[in-house]
Amino acid sequence: MLVALLPGDGIGPEVIVEAVRVLEALDIHGLIFEEAPIGGAAYKEYGHPLPDKTLDLAKRADAILFGAVGDPDCDALERHLRPEQAILGVRKELQLFANLRPANLFPELADASALRPEIARDIDVMIVRELTGDVYFGEKGMRTTDDGLRQGYDIMAYDEAEIARIARAGFETAQARRCKLCSVDKANVLETSQLWRDVMVEVSADYPDVELRHMYVDNAAMQLVRDPGQFDTIVTGNLFGDILSDLASMCAGSIGMLPSASLDAGGKGLYEPVHGSAPDIAGEGKANPLATILSAAMMLRYSLDMSQPADRIEQAVAKALADGLRTADLGGSATTRQAGDAVIAALAH
Provide the binding-site residues for Mg ion, judged by CB under 5 A: 242
Alpha-helical regions (H) of 205-305: 217-226, 238-251, 290-302
Question: Closer to Mg ion at the Cβ: 203 or 270?
Answer: 270
Report the partner that residue 40 touches, choosing among Mg ion, ligand IPM, none (CB closer than 5 to 8 A by kind): none
Catalytically annotated residue among 71, 134, 186, 232: 186
Q: Residue 87 binds what, of ligand IPM, Mg ion, none (CB under 5 to 8 Å, by partner type)?
A: ligand IPM
198 tagged catalytic: no
CB of 88 to ligand IPM, least distance (A): 6
**97, 242, 251, 295: which one contacts ligand IPM (CB under 6 A)?**
242
- The smaller minimum CB distance to Mg ion, of residues 256 and 309, is found at 256
Q: Which amino acid is at 165?
A: R
Which of ligand IPM, Mg ion, none does residue 84 bind (CB under 5 to 8 Å by kind)?
ligand IPM
Least separation, in Å, of the C-beta of 226 and ligand IPM? 23
Residues 88-107 that bind ligand IPM (CB under 6 A): 88
- Scanning 81-89, 142-150, 297-305, 323-331 for contacts with ligand IPM by CB under 6 A, the matching segment is 81-89
Residue 296 near ligand IPM by CB under 6 A: no
**Minimum separation from the CB atom of position 343 to ligand IPM (A):** 23
Q: Does position 9 bind ligand IPM by CB under 6 A?
A: no
Do residues 90 and 96 lie in contact, with contact meaning Cβ atoms separated by under 8 Å?
Answer: yes
**Residue 251 contacts ligand IPM per CB under 6 A:** no
Among the listed residues 136, 158, 207, 271, the single catalytic one is 136
In the residue annotation, 242 being an active-site residue is answered as: yes
| Count of residues interacting with ligand IPM (CB under 6 A) | 6
**Which range of residues in 83-91, 149-157, 189-197, 305-313 is near ligand IPM by CB under 6 A?**
83-91
Q: Is the CB of residue 249 less than 8 Å from the CB of residue 299?
A: no
C-alpha to C-alpha distance for 232 and 243, rounded to whole angstroms: 18
As a whole number of Å, the CA-based R_g of the chain is 20
Q: Are 251 and 123 in contact (CB under 8 A)?
A: yes
Q: Which residue is nearest to ligand IPM (CB)?
A: 84
Q: Is residue 87 within the footprint of ligand IPM (CB under 6 A)? A: yes
Active site residue 246: yes
Q: Is 30 left (phi over 0), alpha (psi -120 to 50) or beta?
A: left
Give 287's contacts (C-beta < 8 A, 6+ positions apart). Answer: 11, 14, 15, 256, 278, 281, 327, 336
How many Å apart are CA 293 and CA 120, to the nearest integer? 23
Q: In what order do the strands lie in the sheet with 259-263?
A: 32-35, 2-8, 63-68, 269-273, 259-263, 98-104, 124-130, 233-236, 180-185, 211-216
DSSP 64-121: EEEEE---GGGTTS-GGGSTHHHHHHHHHHTT--EEEEEEE--GGGGGGSSS-HHHHT
User: Could you tell me which residues are beta bridge partners of residue 215?
Assistant: 184
Q: Does 84 bind ligand IPM (CB under 6 A)?
A: yes
Contact set with ligand IPM (CB under 6 A): 70, 84, 87-88, 242, 276
List residues with catalytic annotation: 136, 186, 218, 242, 246
